[in-house]
Amino acid sequence: MYLSKLFIPITKDLPAEAKIKSHQLMLRTGMIKQSSAGIYSWLPLGFKVMKKIEQIVREEQNYIGAQEMLMPTIQSSEIWKESGRYDDYGEEMLRIKDRQGREMLYGPTNEELITDVFRSSVKSYKSLPQLLYHIQWKFRDEVRPRFGVMRCKEFYMKDAYSFDISDEEAKKSYNKMFYSYLKTFSRLGLKAIPMAADTGPIGGDLSHEFVILAETGESQIYADKNIFEINLNQFPLNDSSLQKMREEFTKIYAVTDEKYKKDEFNKNVKKENQMITKGIEVGHIFYFSDKYSKPMNCLIDDKNGKKTSVKMGSYGIGVSRLVGAIIEANYNNDVMKWPKSISPFDVVIIPSINKNNKENLVKAEKIYLELKKQNIDVLLDDVDENMSNKFKKHDLIGTPYQIIIGSKSEGNNFEFKELNSNSEILSLDKIKIKLKVK
């Protein structure tokens, strides 16, 4: 992509309404534009990052055997009345009527809808277990939307649902998702802590939030630092191993503020290992047994031919929220620092050019075409602008690598720089090798 062709409305001024760094940087770099309170348009740069996050989430869901589908954003009120949540959910639910006067709603979550889908198709334990997920827009009418994409009204979310014959089998599905979430956040360059949490309006008796450390987080967390020492790679993907994995994580103290008890914390965590800080919730998993299947008459035949309510869990990751959370966890002053797995571009070529000298631009275009042939996602800054402004702009955007074509370039050797590091002079072949090691 040529920078002159990229729709990227960068602004110099700090947006007055933005109070945290992710909101400021996303507005300044033209990743998003506010449409109304808590609702945003995702512009090309921001959308590209979000889609890369989505793909990593999708790959890790597929890896554990979850199957992707897609449910609508608009739901009938009837299934919510069946479950008993229509009146209980509160004012966050956007209720509407169609032209025939039927009560509808813009889905804040999908437990009822997926239960309705499942009960119409699956009747026997022989079809279990099932893990189904979709990645779809949600709407919750937040009373005070704030912090940009961190707490907004409309958001992009992966939610998955498990269906099992018994509590014992359902815990195996829960463990798979526990594992999948830790792998997902690791690939996104995040250290996520699984923390015992309240189930909230979803309901159930087993729940974990996945929280990343950030000063701007809204969640107060209490944990033992030893939780960071567990190596996820030691656990293969089988039921007994995944049960051991969850036991390893959950025996180390880590709770949200709703679960916190001072005496319990002091008793279970050595003083030098106590961590009291703030964090950002990036995922939440729940096991709620037959909370929805029982009132909605979602029954299956067990091995003895007896009808029983299917056991369910739900598992959410805020895909759009993760864009802001990753910025909060990684920014350095006014410099974005994207993990290489989700950076909008792999590398930017920055030639020193002016109206009277196009030689550096010609060199840059040759390198650009060569890197494109190697399937490297490259941005070429072909804008006639002084180098100081170029560097500030690309530090702001946060592309992890820069190839600088200027006074230090000679022949087939160019200045190569990793963000927040010193530059070095390398041949194009060596640059290619560095760019392919992501």
The count of structural domains within the chain is: 2
Q: What tens digit of pLDDT does each residue of 378-414 get?
A: 999 999 899 999 999 999 999 999 999 988 888 889 9
CATH number, domain at 397? 3.40.50.800
Residue 338: inside a domain, yes or no? Answer: no
Q: Please say if the pLDDT value at position 205 is more than 90.
A: no
Are 325 and 351 within one domain?
no
Query: Is there a single domain that holds both residue 302 and residue 407?
Result: no
Quote the tokens at residue 402. Answer: 């820069």
pLDDT digits (tens, 9 = 90+) for 62-77: 999 999 999 999 999 9
C-alpha to C-alpha distance for 62 and 341, rounded to whole angstroms: 18
CB atoms < 10 A from the CB of 37, how many?
A: 12
How sure is the predictor about 185, in pLDDT bands with cuts at 50, 70 and 90? very high
C-alpha 339: how far from chain center = 13
Contact at 8 Å (CB) between 181 and 212?
Answer: no
Q: What six digits make up the tokens of 260?
A: 């916190």
User: Does 359 share its domain with 325?
Assistant: no
Out of 280, 295, 330, pick the residue that ends a domain.
Answer: 330
What is the mean predicted confidence (pLDDT) over 284-289? 94
The confidence score (pLDDT) of residue 202 equals 56
Mapped onto helix, strand or coil, the DSSP state of residue 376 is coil
Cβ contact 313:332 at 8 Å? no
Question: Of 9, 39, 276, 277, nearest to 156 (Cα)?
Answer: 39
Reference 186, options 125, 235, 220, 144; nearest CA is 235
Report the run of H or E that residue 424 belongs to, with start and end.
Answer: strand 423-427
CATH number for the domain including 55?
3.30.930.10
Residue 81 covered by a domain: yes
Residues 85-91: what's their mean pLDDT?
Answer: 92
State mean pLDDT over 303-328: 96
* Boundary-marking domain end, from 270, 300, 330: 330
Residue 298 within any structural domain of the chain = yes
Q: 78 and 21, same structural domain?
A: yes
Prediction pTM value: 0.94
Q: How confident is the model at residue 199 (pLDDT cuts 50, 70, 90)?
A: low
Q: Residue 177: what pLDDT?
A: 97
Q: Is residue 341 domain-resident?
A: no
Residue 382 near residue 3, CB atoms below 8 Å: yes
Distance CA 182, CA 348 (A): 31
Q: Check: CB of residue 64 under 8 Å from CB of residue 176.
A: yes
Q: How many residues does the chain have?
A: 438
Calculate mean pLDDT across residues 185-206: 81
Within-domain flag for 242: yes
Residues 184 and 292 both lie in one domain = yes
* Average pLDDT over all residues of the chain: 93
User: Measured in Å, how far apart are the chain's first and last C-alpha atoms?
Assistant: 20
The 10s digit of each residue's pLDDT in 211-221 is: 998 888 888 89
Residues 101 and 237 occupy one common structural domain: yes
Domain span at residue 407? 347-436
Residues 276 and 410 in one domain: no
Final residue in a domain of this structure, among 330, 356, 379? 330
Closest CA to 65 of 156, 167, 133, 166: 133
For residue 20, being part of any structural domain is answered with yes
Q: Residue range 279-298: average pLDDT? A: 95
- CA dihedral 163→165→169→174, nearest 10 degrees, is 20
**pLDDT above 70 as % of the chain:** 97
The more confident residue out of 286 and 333 is: 286
Q: Same structural domain for residues 166 and 68?
A: yes
Percent of the chain with pLDDT over 90: 82
Residues 6+ apart with CB under 8 A from 269: 223, 224, 253
Residue 12, pLDDT score: 83
Do 219 and 315 sit in the same domain of this protein? yes
Distance between CA atoms of 250 and 244, rounded to whole angstroms? 10
Least confident of 12-16, 79-83, 167-171: 12-16
pLDDT of residue 157: 98
CB 31 within 8 A of CB 157: no
- Quick check: 256 pLDDT over 90? no
103 and 225 part of one domain:
yes
Residue showing tokens 């009120």: 77
**344-381 residue pLDDT tens:** 999 999 999 877 678 899 999 999 999 999 999 999 99
CB count within 10 Å of CB 303 equals 9
Q: So what's the pLDDT on residue 259? A: 86
Residues 213 and 142 in one domain: yes
Task: Please report whether residue 336 resides in a domain.
Answer: no
pLDDT of residue 437: 62
How far is it, in rounded angstroms, from Cα 8 to Cα 5? 9
**Do 369 and 318 reside in the same domain of the chain?**
no
Give residue 203's pLDDT band: very low, low, confident or very high (50, 70, 90): low
- Please check whether residue 342 lies inside any domain of the structure: no
